[in-house]
Amino acid sequence: MSQLTIYGIKACDTMKKAMVWLQEQELAFALHDYKKQPIDAASLERWCNEHGWETIINRRGTTFRKLDDARKQDLDQDKAIALLLENNSMIKRPVLDLGTRTLVGFKPEYYQTELSQS
């Protein structure tokens, strides 16, 4: 398996849980912290093509909920990517890049199952 990269915000509780889990499994990973290095459009497009933009955008988070309703209307993949580029904190966390595919969100059993297949 190639080096894993975990994308998100270092201070996020879910990110912390995912990173601790990876460390406990003795899996090396690199952290891509959106607060230090924003995500690029190509990565967002790849993730949206793999999972659907509805999975990548975090509608439950504060940042999305604070958007005015006009910006939330008639979303499609292009509009969602534009919003995510403006507001990296609206990206569902974490995104774990396995090299050939990505995992979105964190649940220990999900990581265990998916990583055992890699």
117 confidence band (pLDDT: 50, 70, 90): confident
β-strand partners of 103: 96
- Find the mean pLDDT for residues 105-114: 96
Q: pLDDT tens, 32-90? A: 999 999 999 999 999 999 999 999 999 998 999 999 989 888 999 999 999 999 999 99
pTM, to two decimals: 0.92
Q: In sequence order, what DSSP letters do the residues of 22-75 get, joined into one string?
A: HHHTT--EEEEETTTSPPPHHHHHHHHHHH-HHHHB-TTSHHHHHS-HHHHTT-
- Find the mean pLDDT for residues 92-105: 96
Catalytically active residues, by annotation: 12
